[in-house]
């Protein structure tokens, strides 16, 4: 495991990050958290704000330490964006890379790769890339319109549809093949409205009222796919088959969640926006008035994570409402494909509330708190200090970035919930609603409460068979902090190829089938940590930490090392020693049983040989007795006084021969 992640130690010293540090310009505002790094197929892409180009390096070369391990390439834009890029996002197939900023969007067409190391343009240091400006006229003429979020649509037939949420409370869908105007505009304030042309004053007044009442949409994410019956879809009715679409969860600033269903590229198609979805248990403040981020985990049932500006994250389970009066029997959420669940049936059950830790020194001990009804602070309006990112390698894990660092949230209860839903009431799985998520502080950029904030400029997760599971973070100083994702690598059980796994399991003994995974899961539960020691990064321009802060950091690290590492490893060692002792006793008993079986086998072999010899003697004796019996029967038959039928026939035949001989003798004498 250490050799597999050795490249993480050398990554911060890669020339790519040295080039970023050397060419970095003015630091972004302290209240802004960006994401200018993205990973795709083992390659890392980083946006250079000062040079307005993309730097890329292949991490697999760094792992194998070949001749291209310290090399990187520069992707130049034919038309560089004039706005500040805040995030990078690849399309589904990786053909396009979206450069997203508050004042516009530029799409970079990724060049082709070839050569020995499969590099762009055969390994050229500088590569020109074609760029596409998305609706440049709109963003240049509407100065108050800002891009809040943009995501590639997973259902795009050309892998080129971009869904953009703007500050005017509208969802715009662009086809980058025709980027000048949006294909669809959905007014989230009035989704049934078909108005697309509106003046600036109308937008300003509507946005002002929406902001005042917290009714502006701040984030969205795609839900699991659903199936639309043919009679409800225009395109599906023509083909006679049901159509699969991807709904969208929309989050407003007042923490209201809406469920939007629309058909891609069809202005007159199906459009339905249900909400706000009912949240249970009910709270006086509706779980905060400053929501800022949302992600949907495509589990079964789905889980929606909602973040607020004061550092709280709510994990909500998407459930169906128990409506006995419903005439249609809709299918349940399923991980096997699309469902036909309607939006009117959905509700949100708030399973837990997570309070993110903001510093290492001078903090309270409550890392994870239960759902409460206290009033949240509303000092950050229409801002997003907390960003949520899905983990591509795990359905039960996501990451949070903010001004104070990075957290990893692992929903340890999600697997039990999925198993409970699959088995139903007939199963033996019990889901405990008191189970809590595990929150790990991965990177800390504010060691003390009074430290200057150091925003996170980039965060990406790597889940690759060669590179392993890792987390890469880039701070505002363009420094790289990389560490392994330990939650997924506590216990690694090597298995054969998936295509041969069923055959492999069939060859195992019944005892191996009985104990497969049980002891490993037990050790994994013991080693599971409730907290972790983060990597410390601080602003170089901030005041040095006091001796008290150093003591608190040291004490916290020692306590965390003692409680989360040494004690748990000691307990795991005791369990392993106990298990080894039990297995040793079983081994001794099995050896004794094996010796006894061998003795019994030898005895049975000797007995079998003796019985075989006895059988041969008995067979020989039986043949002799049979011959004697035959001779006795012949003698007895000879001395019987009464002729048998055969003897009588023989007698008659001999008498007839005698008569014939007398007749022939007389005839001969006469001659």
Q: What is the pLDDT of residues 543-553, one digit of tens each?
A: 777 788 788 88
- Do 96 and 111 touch, CB atoms closer than 8 A? no
**DSSP 8-state assignment for residue 178:** B
Kind of pairing, strands 147-152 and 96-101? unpaired
Q: What is the pLDDT of residues 333-390, one digit of tens each?
A: 444 444 544 555 788 999 988 888 877 665 544 443 333 333 333 333 334 478 999 9
- Dist CA 162 CA 97 (whole Å): 11
Average pLDDT for runs of 10 along the chain of length 671:
74 89 64 81 91 92 89 92 91 93 93 88 90 91 90 91 92 92 86 51 51 77 82 50 84 90 73 83 71 91 90 89 46 46 72 83 45 36 70 89 88 86 68 81 82 83 87 87 64 34 43 56 80 72 76 82 86 90 90 94 94 94 93 82 80 91 90 81
- Dist CA 338 CA 121 (whole Å): 40
What are the two backbone dihedrals, phi and then psi, of residue 441, each rounded to the nearest 5 degrees? Answer: -85, 100
CATH topology of domain 1-23+33-190+460-485: Lipocalin (2.40.128)
> What residue ranges do the domains of the chain occupy?
1-23+33-190+460-485, 543-640, 641-670
- Among candidates 369, 342, 207, 222, which has minimal Cα distance to 287? 369
Q: What is the pLDDT of residues 613-640, one digit of tens each?
A: 999 999 999 999 999 999 898 888 777 7
User: Beta-strand (E) ranges in 10-103?
Assistant: 37-40, 43-48, 53-58, 73-77, 85-90, 96-101
**DSSP 8-state assignment for residue 35:** B
C-alpha distance from residue 102 to each of 70, 149, 309, 553 (Å): 33, 9, 18, 37
Residue count (the chain) = 671
- Residue 310 burial (CB count, 10 A): 18
410: left (phi over 0), alpha (psi -120 to 50) or beta: beta
- Dist CA 611 CA 609 (whole Å): 5
Does the predicted model carry a pTM greater than 0.85?
A: no
């Amino acid at each position: 495991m250490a050799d597999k992640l050795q490249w993480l130690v050398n990554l911060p010293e890669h020339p790519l990050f040295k080039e970023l540090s050397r060419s970095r310009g003015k630091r972004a505002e302290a209240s802004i958290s960006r994401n200018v790094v993205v990973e795709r197929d083992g390659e890392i892409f980083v946006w250079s704000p000062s040079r307005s180009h993309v730097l890329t390096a292949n991490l697999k070369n760094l792992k194998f330490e070949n001749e291209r391990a310290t090399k990187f390439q520069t992707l130049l834009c034919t038309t560089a964006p004039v706005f500040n890029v805040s995030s990078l996002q690849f399309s589904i197939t990786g053909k396009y890379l979206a450069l997203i900023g508050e004042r516009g969007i530029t799409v970079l067409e990724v060049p082709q790769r070839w050569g020995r190391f499969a590099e762009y343009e055969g390994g050229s240091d500088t590569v020109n890339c074609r760029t596409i400006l998305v609706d440049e006229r709109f963003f240049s003429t509407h100065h108050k319109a800002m891009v809040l979020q943009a995501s590639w649509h997973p259902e795009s037939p050309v892998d080129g549809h971009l869904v953009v949420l703007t500050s005017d409370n509208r969802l715009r869908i662009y086809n980058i093949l025709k980027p000048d105007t949006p294909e669809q505009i959905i007014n989230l304030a009035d989704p049934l409205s078909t108005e697309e042309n509106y003046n600036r004053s109308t937008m300003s007044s509507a946005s002002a009222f929406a902001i005042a009442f917290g009714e502006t949409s701040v984030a969205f994410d795609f839900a699991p796919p659903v199936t639309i019956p043919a009679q409800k879809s225009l395109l599906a009715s023509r083909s006679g088959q049901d159509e699969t679409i991807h709904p969208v969860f929309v989050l407003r600033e007042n923490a209201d969640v809406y469920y939007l269903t629309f058909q891609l590229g069809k202005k007159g198609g199906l459009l339905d926006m249900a909400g706000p979805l009912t949240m249970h248990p009910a709270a006086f403040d509706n779980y905060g008035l400053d929501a800022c981020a949302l992600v949907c985990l495509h589990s079964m049932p789905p889980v929606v994570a909602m973040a607020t500006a004061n550092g709280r994250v709510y994990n909500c389970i998407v459930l169906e409402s128990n409506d006995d009066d419903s005439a249609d029997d809709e299918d349940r959420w399923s991980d096997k494909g699309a469902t036909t669940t309607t939006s009117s049936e959905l509700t949100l059950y708030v399973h837990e509330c997570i309070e993110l830790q903001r510093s290492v020194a001078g903090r309270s001990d409550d890392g994870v708190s239960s759902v409460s009804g206290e009033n949240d602070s509303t000092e950050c309006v229409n801002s997003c200090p907390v960003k949520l990112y899905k983990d591509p390698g795990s359905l039960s894990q996501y990451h949070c970035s903010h001004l104070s660092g990075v957290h990893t949230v692992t929903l340890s209860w999600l697997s039990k919930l999925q198993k409970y839903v699959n088995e139903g009431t007939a199963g033996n799985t019990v889901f405990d609603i008191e189970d809590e998520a595990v929150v790990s502080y991965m990177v800390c950029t504010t060691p003390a409460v009074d430290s200057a904030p150091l925003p996170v400029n980039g965060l990406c997760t790597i889940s690759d068979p060669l590179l392993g599971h890792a987390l890469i973070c880039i701070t505002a100083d363009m420094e790289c902090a990389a560490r392994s994702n330990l939650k997924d690598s506590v216990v690694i059980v090597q298995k054969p190829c998936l295509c041969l796994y069923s055959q492999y399991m069939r060859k195992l003994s019944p005892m191996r089938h009985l104990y497969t995974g049980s002891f490993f899961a037990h050790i994994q539960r013991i080693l599971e940590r409730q907290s972790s020691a983060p990597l410390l990064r601080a602003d170089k321009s901030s005041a040095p930490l006091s001796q008290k802060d150093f003591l608190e950091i040291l004490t916290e690290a020692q306590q965390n090392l003692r409680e989360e590492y040494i004690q748990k490893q000691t307990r795991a060692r005791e369990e392993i020693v106990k298990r080894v002792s039990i297995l040793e006793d079983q081994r001794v008993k099995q050896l004794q049983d094996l010796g006894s079986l061998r003795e019994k086998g030898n005895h049975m072999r000797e007995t079998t040989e003796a019985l075989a010899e006895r059988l041969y003697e008995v067979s020989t004796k039986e043949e002799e007795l049979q011959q004697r019996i035959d001779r006795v029967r012949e003698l007895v038959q000879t001395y019987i006084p009464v002729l048998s039928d055969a003897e009588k026939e023989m007698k008659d035949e001999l008498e007839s021969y005698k008569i014939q001989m007398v007749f022939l003798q007389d005839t001969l004498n006469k001659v």
